[in-house]
Amino acid sequence: MTGTPEPQNENLTLLGRRVLLGITGSIAAYKSAFLARELIKRGAEVRIVMTPSAIEFITPLTLSTLTGKPVHSDFTENKDSGEWTNHVELGLWGDLFLTAPCTAATLSAFANGTCSNLLQAVFLSARCPVMVAPAMDLDMFTNEATLVNLKTLGERGVSVIEPASGALASGLEGKGRMEEPEAIADFVEDFFKIGMPLAGKKVVVTAGPTEEPIDAVRYLGNRSTGKMGFELAARLANLGASVTLIAGPVKLDTPPRVSKRIDVMTAKEMYEVTMEVWPEMDAGIACAAVADMRPVNPASSKLHRGDLTDEIMLENTPDILLEMGVRKSASQVLMGFALETDSVEESLKSAEGKLERKNLDFIVMNTLADEGAGFSHDTNKVTVLQKVNIHTETRIFELKSKREVAHDLIDMLSTLLIS
């Protein structure tokens, strides 16, 4: 069992945040290089999308060197091979899509749904929050058309980083110059802080399979990859929770911002570390596919062919989730999983039994009867049963990516955690 606390750097206030930075054709585009550097300095991962006219102000080479990533400006990546830039992928990648500087022309395109360059296509496909930092001459900024576009975007949830006042490229003085990179980075930081409703909450997540030794080299295990549990930990951490991730043997990196990861092998080890931390937690999610049985008296060396018997004696492992339910205080919230293989009706009955028996607030059921659900996929299809007083409420979700499922589940958990 190994504890691997993540290095926590107080200055990395944007650690783990993905910022998709849009740059448009304004003289302020040169400041975007400083902005990209500032965001990266604070821990963010930055990818850049430019409009064709932005390239006249600052080169993609400067920006790709600063970010360490290719810069995108065209629908086609490579005209000879026909390789295209996936604007949908870019739009899904970011936790935030920030266009800085944003010209009057791009503001208008965003407000009107125009799609005549890659940046505008990314805007239309972005699912993450969108922010713009306008930059233009003062008369353009106060023009009724620009003000209407800003109002429209504001009403649709786009955040506007107001331009600052000062000397403008036209020689005039007034409001219109893009805010300084440090101030924009502060704005981005504040934005993420506000989006942290779980700050101060402690949550333990178990994830992955367990391996129960037969001898020094053989074990009983299962095909869990740990992806679902790691996505849950990532989402909780992104919402500000302090997450302890207890992982069986998996090949996954610790998500950014997860406070502590403890790696274990067996159900017994997972049980011991979970019980140790559980009393101080506000919530627990048992997502691990824990082996229910383990070989009795595993051999400490490798058994040779002649030593292997026809039968392996098994015994029960401790039920971690059951014990968490037994020790659960009135304020703690507990979510368990149930992987079923029977018909939907039978599976629901079994999951409801587990909800009661293990004293849970939620049970997340998935059945292998549903295509795309279970261990080996990047997708999952879940039904969540929630105990509400003496009733059970059921919510059936569509087939989604495990990341999206994690969002749905943490939304449900949060309703109890922050009520």
Q: Which stretch binds ligand CTP (CB under 6 A): 220-228, 238-246, 334-342, 389-397?
A: 334-342
For residues 207 and 243, give the distance between their C-alpha atoms in angstroms, rounded to a whole number.
12
Rank residues 66 and 233 by Cβ distance to ligand CTP and give the closer one.
Answer: 233
In angstroms, give the least distance from the CB of 320 to ligand CTP: 3
In angstroms, give the least distance from the CB of 288 to ligand CTP: 5
Of 86, 143, 222, 359, the active-site residue reads 222
Q: Which residues of 2-14 are buried (b: 16+ CB within 10 A; e: fewer)?
A: eeeebeeeeebbb
Site string for ligand CTP, 259-278 (x = CB under 6 A): --------x-----------
Rank residues 97 and 278 by Cβ distance to ligand CTP and give the closer one.
Answer: 278
Rank residues 293 and 299 by Cβ distance to ligand CTP and give the closer one.
Answer: 293
The answer to whether the beta carbons of residues 264 and 273 sit under 8 Å apart is yes
In angstroms, give the least distance from the CB of 255 to ligand CTP: 19
For residues 284 and 289, give the distance between their C-alpha atoms in angstroms, rounded to a whole number.
15
Tally the C-alpha atoms within 13 A of residue 320's C-alpha that lie toward its C-beta.
Answer: 33
Instruction: Kindly state whether residue 321 participates in binding ligand CTP, applying the rule CB under 6 A.
Output: yes
Among 106, 117, 224, 317, binds ligand CTP (CB under 6 A): 317
Residue 222 is a catalytic residue: yes
Pairing assessment for the beta strands 96-102 and 202-207 based on DSSP bridges:
unpaired
Rank residues 200 and 279 by Cβ distance to ligand CTP and give the closer one.
Answer: 279
Among 273, 338, 405, 413, binds ligand CTP (CB under 6 A): 338
Q: Which stretch binds ligand CTP (CB under 6 A): 133-141, 236-244, 317-325, 385-393?
A: 317-325
In angstroms, give the least distance from the CB of 367 to ligand CTP: 11
The answer to whether the beta carbons of residues 368 and 342 sit under 8 Å apart is no
Rank residues 133 and 287 by Cβ distance to ligand CTP and give the closer one.
Answer: 287
Q: How many CB atoms lie within 10 A of CB 127?
A: 12
Chain center to CA of 216: 37
Q: Which two tokens stand for residue 369?
A: 């009867």
Rank residues 150 and 338 by Cβ distance to ligand CTP and give the closer one.
Answer: 338
Q: Which of residues 277-316 bind ligand CTP (CB under 6 A)?
A: 286, 288, 290, 292
Residues with Cβ within 8 Å of residue 404, at least 6 apart in sequence: none
DSSP tag of 343: -
User: Left if phi > 0, otherwise alpha if psi is -120 to 50, otherwise beta: which for 166?
Assistant: left
Chain center to CA of 87: 19
Site string for ligand CTP, 79-118 (x = CB under 6 A): ----------------------------------------
Packing angle of the helix pair 29-41, 60-67 (nearest 10 deg): 10
In angstroms, give the least distance from the CB of 400 to ligand CTP: 19
The answer to whether the beta carbons of residues 373 and 379 sit under 8 Å apart is yes
Instruction: Kindly state whether residue 337 participates in binding ligand CTP, applying the rule CB under 6 A.
Output: yes
3-state helix, strand, coil in the chain (%, to 5): 35, 25, 40
Q: How many CB atoms lie within 10 A of CB 332?
A: 18
Q: Which of residues 200-259 bind ligand CTP (CB under 6 A)?
A: 206
Among 87, 201, 328, 354, binds ligand CTP (CB under 6 A): 354
Chain center to CA of 163: 31
Packing angle of the helix pair 118-125, 104-112 (nearest 10 deg): 40
Rg (CA), the chain: 26
Rank residues 63 and 267 by Cβ distance to ligand CTP and give the closer one.
Answer: 267
Site string for ligand CTP, 169-208 (x = CB under 6 A): -------------------------------------x--
Instruction: Kindly state whether residue 365 participates in binding ligand CTP, applying the rule CB under 6 A.
Output: no
Q: Which stretch binds ligand CTP (CB under 6 A): 113-121, 158-166, 241-249, 332-340?
A: 332-340
Strand positions, DSSP E, 289-332: 293-295, 314-316
Q: Which residues bind ligand CTP (CB under 6 A)?
A: 206, 267, 286, 288, 290, 292, 317, 319-321, 336-339, 354
Which positions are annotated as active-site residues?
222
